[in-house]
Structure 1
Amino acid sequence: MTTRVGYIGLGNIGLPMAEWLLAPGLDLTVYDVADAAVAPFRGRAGIAPSLADVGRAADLIGVCVRDDADVQEVVTALLETMTSGLIAIHSTVRPATIVELAKVAADKGVAVIDAAVTGGAEGARSGRLTAMVGGEAAAIDQARPLLSAYCSNIVHAGPVGQGMTLKIVNNLVTYIELLGAVEAYRLAAAAGLDPAKLSEVMTDNGNLTPAMRAYVGFRGTMNSDVFAASQAALSTLAEKDLSLAAALAAESEVSAPLGEATARLFRESVTRI
């Protein structure tokens, strides 16, 4: 039996995720606002002319778009044509956005779950993303043909919204450690140390996480033009993600001063060579 799947948002992570849905037993339809983004799927999958057409063509739909406003636009359009099925939100957005959309969708017979992912573009290309999922157990089982195509681990965080909460807290750690790595290697170089020695020690004592190692190595290979563009993009993403962490802390009445400091210092620090 063939499962009709859809994917919306073919960016840096979304495109390789969607490519895993070009598999036996899956009938894929894709959509993106950019014609160039859907080009790799021509002749290999259905190309929907609109968001609503994805809703007509698919029963399980993954969504990986930019922000809360985009997620709301996508789900609203899909619900114009869907009367059953499931929408999995991969975008990092406010948990409340997922909860609100899930309520609206349920009235139309459609399940909405949050299925935030971690592992980056490389994890998407290798099919080894980790999904942090919020929703009822039955909905998660329903989503497995979609999620298991590009995720090697599916973590059920709790009710709708809790998957996104887990992603936001995880991202907080990521940005804190990346800022820490930049500061440590900058200080080591300024003090005359060979950065490789710092890497050796931090590898042995466990301080150098895989994400930090990859990021430090990436910074060391970039020319000035690539460096400026990549770090500006990273800073914009960090500001969005850290603002979500700050909002979560405020809603939970928890102090998060390290997160606040990271948000304040991140762009200036990482965009400086």
Structure 2
Amino acid sequence: MTDQQPLRAGVVGLGMIGGGVAVSMARRGRTPLVHDIRPDASADLAGVPDPLASPAEVARGSDVVMVAVVDAGQAREVIGGEDGLLAGAHPGLTVVLLATVALPVVHELAALCAAGGVGFLDCGVTPGDRAAENGMVAIVGGDRATVDAALPVLDDWARKVVHCGPLGAGMATKIARNVVTYGSWRAVAEAAALAGAAGVDPARLAEVIDTADPEGRTLLQLLGMHGPDGALPDAVGAQVEPLMTKDLDATRDLAAALGVEVPLVDVARTHARHTLERGERPAPAGDDLHRLGLEMMDRVYGPGFSSAVPDTGEPFTGETVDYLFAQVWSRPGLSVRDRRMLTLGVAASTGRSELVQIIANGGLVNDELTPDQLREAALHLAVYVGWCNGTATHTGITAAIAAHTPHQEQE
């Protein structure tokens, strides 16, 4: 192979990705040799010749061969099988693995190729539905010399080739990119379920997102906030964290009120500080701890509730604010609504209607529970705590609903 002799290309596997790669190269004038277990696999692929009988035949007539199979087992067979690429290999051959497989498999196949004197690159690709339009990104891992040697072929089917680093880096980057893809799908699923449960057409949610962020920049905004040293500045985290936690808390509370499961939201809230690279939150102390407790009281029982807490300096009152609300109710493991339901059950077991009323009122004020849900809770709890305690629970809930309803009617 010299500068006057163009690189010869091959493709094994003519599915959506492999077939698209072959079409893109043929359109550029570098018609590849191809193989597929289906004899007619290239029939509808413009400019692509009939498949050869084996991967070995493709290897004999190619300098760079793209392997576009589904899984690790197929990749092993195509590369190292009896009629695989290595059976027809020659000096200077490079194998480019397009299949998404685990990193140990990448290193296994690379070692197999190296033993046969064959170059190897791992190459994730995306988006697969644009393979036939020279529209994919080639996400490459391997040594620089092997990448440079294969680059003319890669350029014929990829709109951009990104060399991510040494062997395995391309596959790792592709896998990480898949996390963004499927993780965002889960986020969209939870958001759509939440909007739908609140009576909002999910199409309106899509309209808002498309209009506010048509190019999807928000999805990668966190990466863009990192400084030259690769770390997220603490000043950025300090600014974002209160907004992030407030919004996620509101989301969890709404989801709880509507009966919508949002596990991804729960994880995002639990690991908010880790996401923002802020480490563990130092335990608040002194005035900060007391202020947090008062704020949580208002969040649990409604605005202004904490103003009724006497500032007597008594240990019990102090610990109610500084420990119960600042350090227990504020923990991220359960939503406020979850903790309210647990506390309602405990209050019901005491037969104290006034305690039940306070807890139920907080649920109404925060729109976590409807009057009908509270009435149903009174019946459910009565079966477990006894009818006498159940009667007190019903009394407290009825009083909370009665006190809340006029407020609702005045709005």
Larger gyration radius, structure 1 or structure 2: 2
TM-score, length-scaled by structure 1: 0.70
> 1:94-115 CA distances to partner (integer Å, 9 max, x unpaired)?
1221222222212322101101
> Partner residue of 2:155?
148
- Once residues 46 and 57 of structure 2 are traced to their aligned partners in structure 1, the CA distance between those partners, rounded to angstroms, is 16
> 1:197-252 CA distances to partner (integer Å, 9 max, x unpaired)?
21232234439849x9xxxxxxxxxxxxxxxxxxxxxxxxxxxxxxxxxxxxxxxx
Post-superposition offset of 1:43: 7.4
Preserved contact between residue 27 and residue 47 of structure 2 (Cα < 8 Å): no
- Once residues 210 and 196 of structure 2 are traced to their aligned partners in structure 1, the CA distance between those partners, rounded to angstroms, is 18
* Highest RCO, 1 vs 2 (Cα 8 Å, sep ≥ 6): 1
The equivalent position to 1:189 in structure 2, one of 161, 181, 196, is 196
Structure-2 change in CA distance of 1:43 and 1:183 (3 Å): closer
The equivalent position to 1:108 in structure 2, one of 103, 111, 116, is 116
> Partner residue of 1:162?
169
Post-superposition offset of 1:86: 0.4
Post-superposition offset of 1:61: 0.4
Post-superposition offset of 1:27: 4.0
Q: What is the DSSP-based 3-state SS (H/G/I as helix, E as strand, rest coil) of the residue aligned with 2:137?
A: strand
- Once residues 47 and 160 of structure 2 are traced to their aligned partners in structure 1, the CA distance between those partners, rounded to angstroms, is 30
Matched, 1:86 2:90: no
Post-superposition offset of 1:79: 0.5
Matched, 1:20 2:43: no
- Once residues 110 and 194 of structure 2 are traced to their aligned partners in structure 1, the CA distance between those partners, rounded to angstroms, is 47
- Once residues 27 and 184 of structure 2 are traced to their aligned partners in structure 1, the CA distance between those partners, rounded to angstroms, is 37
Structure-2 change in CA distance of 1:110 and 1:120 (3 Å): same
* Percentage of identical aligned residues: 35
Matched, 1:118 2:102: no
Structure-2 change in CA distance of 1:209 and 1:198 (3 Å): same
Tell me how large the CA RMSD over aligned residues is. Answer: 2.3
TM-score, length-scaled by structure 2: 0.48
Name whichever of 58-67 and 41-50 sits farther off. Answer: 41-50
Post-superposition offset of 1:25: 4.9
> Partner residue of 2:41?
37
Post-superposition offset of 1:24: 5.2
The equivalent position to 1:61 in structure 2, one of 42, 62, 65, is 65
Q: What is the DSSP-based 3-state SS (H/G/I as helix, E as strand, rest coil) of the residue aligned with 2:60?
A: helix
Q: Give structure 2 stretches of 5+ with no counterpart.
A: 220-411
Name whichever of 4-13 and 103-112 sits farther off. Answer: 103-112
Structure-2 change in CA distance of 1:169 and 1:24 (3 Å): closer
Higher strand share: 1
Post-superposition offset of 1:191: 2.3
Preserved contact between residue 89 and residue 115 of structure 1 (Cα < 8 Å): yes
Which amino acid in structure 2 is aligned with residue 112 of structure 1? F
> Partner residue of 1:138?
145
Structure-2 change in CA distance of 1:82 and 1:46 (3 Å): farther
The equivalent position to 1:97 in structure 2, one of 88, 105, 109, is 105
Which amino acid in structure 2 is aligned with residue 79 of structure 1? L
Preserved contact between residue 2 and residue 27 of structure 1 (Cα < 8 Å): no
